Amino acid sequence: MFKILICFFMVSLLFPSLPCLSLPFPDYDPNGKLTFSLGGEISVLNPILSTDSSSSSVEGPIFNGLTRINEKLEIIPDLAKAWKVSKDGKTWTFYLRDDVFWHDGKKFTADDVKFTFDSILDPRINSVRRSDYIIDGKEIKFRIPDKYTIQAVLPKPFAPFLSRIGMGILPKHLLDGKDINTAAFNRKPVGTGPFKFAKWKSGNYVRLIRNDKYFGGKPLLAEIVFKIIPNENSSLVALEAGEVDNAGIPAKDYTRMKEKKGLNVFEYDALLYTYLGFNLKNPIFADKNVRRALAYATNKKQLVNLVLRGHGSAAYAPSTPVSWAYSDYDIQKFPYNPAIATDMLNKSGWNLGKDGILEKKGKKLEFTILLNQGNKDREKAAVILQQQYKKIGIKVKVQVMEWSALLKIVNAPSDPKKFDAVLMGWSLGLDPDSYSIWHSSQYPKGFNFIGYNNPEVDRLLNRGRETMDKKERKTIYANLNRLISEDQPYLFLWYPKVMEGVAERVGGLSKPGPAGLFLNLEKVYIRAK
């Protein structure tokens, strides 16, 4: 029966018109181990505290939310088996599964859900997600009608709510009464997901093992290892050597890796963009003319060609073409024109000094770009930007540092923060709501670490959350994109294609797309030799 079910899954996914016997399906290895390459150290394994992609990648197989997404980016049930919303749009009722157990054997109930969201809303807890559950300054209230029902009572209708409720749920019985910020749980998490935490060796790896009692069915993999390899080239070497089963592929290596035997290489669009973010508390970048001049001085076509080898496209707005709300209508794109850049800087009082560097009242126009080590694309881009800006008299230094050190700087609660500019990227959510990134209230403790403040943008962000009509929301976000692109608080650089390699021995992958190849890890398996 097991083989029949697996065969049916693969045939339905890959060859819907073929009978099962026409697809040669190899036996799976019940002791299979899948090893991922992770680009940075994990900071914490607690979904309400983590802010980095490495931590989130490891948390994914450990925790469940009330909802999840499918390959079409549709929201589907997870810990909640069904839900309904009141006619006034303010009360959401979620009916929970009654067959879910925590990894320590304790039964999952509505108490855990309420505890999780109440903890996020607790100002004593360092959760940057707090703003997701506050509407017009009023908190969403969570109540428990019965053991397996949870209700969320909103101050007013909130369009992104369903996409926000997928947050990983925490076990109340292990964290109640403890300081969640410093709890030992954050290094030894207990979840409800298909894989259980086993070991975390800092700077080396995290190991997860199969949860035989997973409510979604026994996972096919026996264990998962996340191997921390900050260097992109080292990660690629590990993939070629079979030391890891999955790793990102730099654009420069794509063609070569595509021809590599024993490896499947995938390329697909994602909800990602790369940007140069300016510290707007820095007097240099507080001047919008300087930011806009830098946009004119940036040859994005050159960046896409040299850095991405054409595997991507130039970015101009804080959204991606993958999003249903994306619009580039009336977006100011600042086409490459160093002459315009120079003229704008001159009008702002910056003139060339004897050393060829622009200066104003004795102060040089120079700044430092911070970026994380191991990301060769960003390192190359930083050098190209350095060269492009030098042509118009701007001196740029590039400082590469460990991911954890960079996060410590940008996430510091200080005002002003201690950086000039950062070269980073965003992985966006399903809903176009970007309140946590752009709203002025999200500085200095939220994701708006650059200190952006535009009252009209704040107003549109609020409207985008309050308006339930999808067509109207699309118009709102089109206007939002236009305003932000005019301000250039970020210099939007490119939309990258995701390129990754997966060992041929790995089966059960999801369809390549924005949801990722490993969307359903419980169905991924290792082929028997």
- Look at residue 26 in the predicted model and tell me its pLDDT: 60
Under 8 Å CB-to-CB from 240, ≥6 apart: which residues?
257, 260, 263
- Look at residue 483 in the predicted model and tell me its pLDDT: 97
- Look at residue 27 in the predicted model and tell me its pLDDT: 79
**Residues facing residue 200 across a β-bridge:** 206
Q: What is the pLDDT of residues 474-517, one digit of tens each?
A: 999 999 999 999 999 999 999 999 999 999 999 999 999 999 99
Instruction: Indicate the Cα dihedral angle 511, 513, 514, 520, nearest 10°.
Output: 10
Greater confidence (45 vs 230) lies with 45
Taking domain 63-175, whether its CATH number is 3.90.76.10 is answered by yes
Q: What global pTM score does this model have? A: 0.82
Q: Check whether 5 has a pLDDT greater than 80.
A: no
Q: Check whether 103 has a pLDDT greater than 80.
A: yes
CATH 3.40.190.10 maps onto the chain at 28-46+53-58+193-269+498-526
The backbone torsions φ and ψ at residue 342, rounded to the nearest 5 degrees and listed phi first, read -65, -45
Residue 463 is classified by DSSP as: H
Question: One-letter amino acid identity for 513?
Answer: G
Under 8 Å CB-to-CB from 360, ≥6 apart: which residues?
348, 349, 350, 351
Give the separation between CA 62 and CA 218, rounded to whole angstroms. Answer: 14
CATH 3.90.76.10 maps onto the chain at 63-175
Give the separation between CA 341 and CA 357, rounded to whole angstroms. Answer: 14
Query: Is 424 in a helix, a strand, or coil?
Result: strand
Q: Check whether 229 has a pLDDT greater than 90.
A: yes
Q: What is the pLDDT of residues 370-386, one digit of tens each?
A: 999 988 899 999 999 99
The CATH number, out of the four listed (3.10.105.10, 3.40.430.10, 3.20.20.70, 1.10.10.10), of the domain defined by the range 272-496: 3.10.105.10
Residue with tokens 């959350």: 465
CATH 3.10.105.10 maps onto the chain at 272-496
The CATH number, out of the four listed (3.40.190.10, 3.30.2350.10, 3.30.465.10, 3.30.70.920), of the domain defined by the range 28-46+53-58+193-269+498-526: 3.40.190.10
